[in-house]
Structure 1
Amino acid sequence: MPQRTKIILNPITNHGRSQQDADQLKPMFKEHAVDWYVSEYAGHSVKLAHDAAAEGYDLVVAAGGDGTVHEVVNGLMQLPAEIRPKMGILPLGSGNDFAHIIGVAEDHAQAFQNFLHRTPISLDVGVVGDENNRKEYFCNTIGIGFDAVVTIHTKRMKKIHGFMMYLVATVKTIFLDFPRMDLTVETDEERWEETTIMLTLGNGPREGGGFMVTPDAKVDDGLLNYVTVSKISRLMMLRLVPEVMKGTQGRFRQVRMGICRRMSIHSKQPLFAHCDGEIFSGFDTRLFQFNIEILPNALQVIK
């Protein structure tokens, strides 16, 4: 294990179960002289991760779900590469998409033990900027339109979680909130204009506890995989749901899939977006332009 390790725990992840799971690991933390900090408010993990370099830590561990991982990534990516600590993940959430993608052990004690013995791997990180020069990093996916509205609905659900939460929110969005965006999209390879209800770019292949939205994406290939769904009926969107679960949606003519390193998006309507399941622009924002790119080998991760 690196000389100094900082664990950042989100105690409310998975309806508070993360605190219970972490408590069971406390003897191991003490045995290996690991310092742990508790995130106290939204965005606190960003600051805790960012401060780790100045505090002399070599490894920062996100102990929580995908939201905690997202915040830790954003804190670390604000640091210059030469002083940026490595990252680890203790998957204490309900979905744990990114941990699953990179092969983190589901057993929490085993995942912790892996930090003792394994060497880091280099992973890509995505970044999005808007017309107000706001910037946010993502390690897994950025979803725009339908995908984002689904995520907004999940934030209001308290009694269900994980894959079922996203499935219920998906059906709700199909019948209640069917966003339409008149987009002009330009990548480093192509350009198109289209009325679209959903555009997702993936560094990793899955989100929402198991939806294979960008099934061919790899977190270490220096590319973003994208999928768009053109304007379709509610019935057709229902038809696509089981296909997205399996990653076979690309066989439908209304679905466009491809790869890029950079993408610029201009919309006539406000853009709703999430990054790694965290809201980047919601119903109360008016953003019409995004610039997205992949940063190859940006983060060292021990899995």
Structure 2
Amino acid sequence: MRALLVVNPAATTTSARTRDVLIHALASEMKLEAVTTEYRGHAQDLGRQAAESEDIELVVALGGDGTVNEVVNGLLHHRPSPEALPGLAVVPGGSTNVFARALGLPNDAVEATGALLDALRRRSERTVGLGLAEGTPGTEDEGVPSRWFTFNAGVGFDAGVVGRVEQQRERGKRSTHALYVRQVLRQFVDEPHRRHGRITLERPGEDPVTDLVLAIVCNTSPYTYLGNRALYASPTASFDTGLDVLGLSKLSTSAVARYGTQLLTSGPERGLHGKHAVSGHDLTDFTLHSKVPLPFQMDGDHLGLRTSVTFTGVRRALRVIV
């Protein structure tokens, strides 16, 4: 088997020595080409080249969720069937690793490598669904390129938090869970639309839901992690169904305390709920409009401001080794 290993040298939880050990372990089982990313978007370029290659059977992403997202977008650049693409394997190296953990992989890079090699020997894989987001036709975002996501996307409050975290990382701060908590509090204090939301959710055949403060789109559950604690926003979301969406119409101090407590204490049975919460399960397509440009994130990467995004749930989009 010929495989391409895409290595993010800035991965939060792996050292250069650890990466060398992992590369050696993988190379003992396959014909491996390891490439270290050098710029933002490099992993996407490598994924696209692998998809266009005639002999690469597997792409291994060694890094965090951002690296995985780029590789996936490269693999699916031409939107072929999953059978026509190399398989994807993930070795978690980021601070959160939501996609890898949602697949049931260990959160430790060495243990995950062992699990990957075992899955390859057993020829164990699954085909997972993904989300696709693009600028809505007929709006000012119409020309925004479409982009795939593996576990979640968000418009409004949570995307603003992601943007703040990225700003802090650009200033040299380490990506820690404490950093995220601090930016949640700062986003809450500065959020101008937390009492009167600007987002409208439109679903085919249903009345629009207006005045949402935030909207979170989930392709799997948990939504994310705080350390080792799983956080459930839409517990019914799954790689085997369409997309789930959760919207909140109010973020007062009491509402934030209530929903924060639910996130921290609710298990996979219920997630966020209440009179200010609206949800949708197993959706194939829907649109989020905003009266003003709002922050937008996908798989934990801030992608700027958007006024209208159309989402599509694509089942059986990509083969993953697990």
| 2:183 equivalent to 1:169 | yes
1:301 Cα deviation (Å)? Answer: 0.4
1:21 has 2:18 as partner? yes
Deviation for aligned residue 1:261 = 1.5
Is residue 198 of structure 1 aligned with residue 202 of structure 2?
no
User: Does the 8 Å contact 1:140/1:202 carry over to 2?
Assistant: yes
CA–CA separation in structure 2 for the residues paired with 1:149 and 1:179: 12
Tell me how far apart the structure 1 counterparts of residues 318 and 186 of structure 2 sit (CA, whole Å).
36
> Which residue of structure 1 lines up, in the alignment, with residue 139 of structure 2?
none
SS at match of 2:293: coil
Q: Which amino acid aligns with 1:166?
A: Y
The equivalent residue for 1:109 is 113
Residue 147 of structure 1, CA deviation: 0.9
Deviations 1:100-125 (A, max 9, x none): 11112331331331342232201001
Gaps of 5+ in 1: none
Q: 1:9 corresponds to which letter in structure 2?
A: V
Q: Map of 1:28-107 to 2, 5 A cutoff?
A: 28-32=25-29, 33-55=31-53, 56-79=55-78, 80-81=80-81, 83-106=84-107, 107=111
Distance (whole Å) between structure 2 residues aligned to residue 140 and residue 76 of structure 1: 17
- 2:262 counterpart residue number: 243
1:264 Cα shift?
Answer: 1.3
Query: Percent same amino acid at aligned positions?
Result: 27
Counterpart contact for 1:10–1:18, Cα < 8 Å: no
Residue 195 of structure 1 and its aligned partner are, at CA, apart by: 1.3
Q: 1:266 offset after TM fit, Å? A: 1.9
Any gaps of 5 or more consecutive residues in structure 2?
Answer: 136-141
Between the aligned partners of 1:208 and 1:148, the Cα distance in structure 2 is 16
The number of equivalent residue pairs is 295
Contact 2:120 2:321 in 1 (8 A): no
The residue aligned with 1:215 is 235
Q: Tell me if the contact between 2:51 and 2:74 (Cα under 8 Å) persists in the aligned partners.
A: no
Matched with 2:156 is 145
Tell me the amino acid that sits aligned with residue 253 of structure 1: K
C-alpha displacement at 1:189, in angstroms? 4.9
Q: Could you list the per-position Cα deviations for residues 195-234 of structure 1 after superposition, in whole angstroms to 9, with x for gaps in the alignment?
A: 111101100122254432222211112x211111103313
Secondary structure at 1:300 match in 2: strand
SS at 2:208 equivalent: strand
- What's the secondary structure of 1:23's corresponding residue? helix
What is the identity, as a one-letter code, of the residue corresponding to 1:139? T
Q: Aligned AA for 2:284?
A: R
Task: Report if the CA contact (8 A) 1:174-1:238 is conserved.
Answer: no
Cα distance in structure 2, aligned partners of 1:123 and 1:76: 14
Give how far 1:182 is off: 2.3
Q: TM-score scaled to structure 1, two decimals?
A: 0.90
Aligned to 1:127: 132
C-alpha distance in 2 between matches for 1:54 and 1:129:
23
Q: Deviations over 1:162-212 (max 9, x none)?
A: 433322221221112344542332113523232111101100122254432
Residues 273 and 176 (structure 1), Cα distance of their counterparts in 2 relative to 1, 3 Å cut: same
Question: Is it true that 1:268 corresponds to 2:291 in the alignment?
Answer: yes
* Structure 1 residue 254: Cα displacement: 0.9
Please state whether the residue corresponding to 2:52 is helix, strand or coil. coil
State how far apart, in whole Å, the 1-side matches of 2:225 and 2:155 are. Answer: 14
1:229 aligns with 2:248: yes
SS at match of 2:224: coil
Encode CA deviations 1:48-98: one digit per residue, 9 max, x unaligned.
011013332111111111111111111111132253211010011110111
The alignment's TM-score, normalised by the length of structure 2, stands at 0.85
Cα distance in 2 for partners of 1:26, 1:62 equals 11
C-alpha change, 1:270 and 1:41, in structure 2 (3 Å) is: same
Structure 1's 26 and 85: CA in aligned 2 closer, same or farther, altered over 3 A?
closer
Q: Judge conservation of contact 2:203–2:287 (CA < 8 Å) in 1.
A: yes
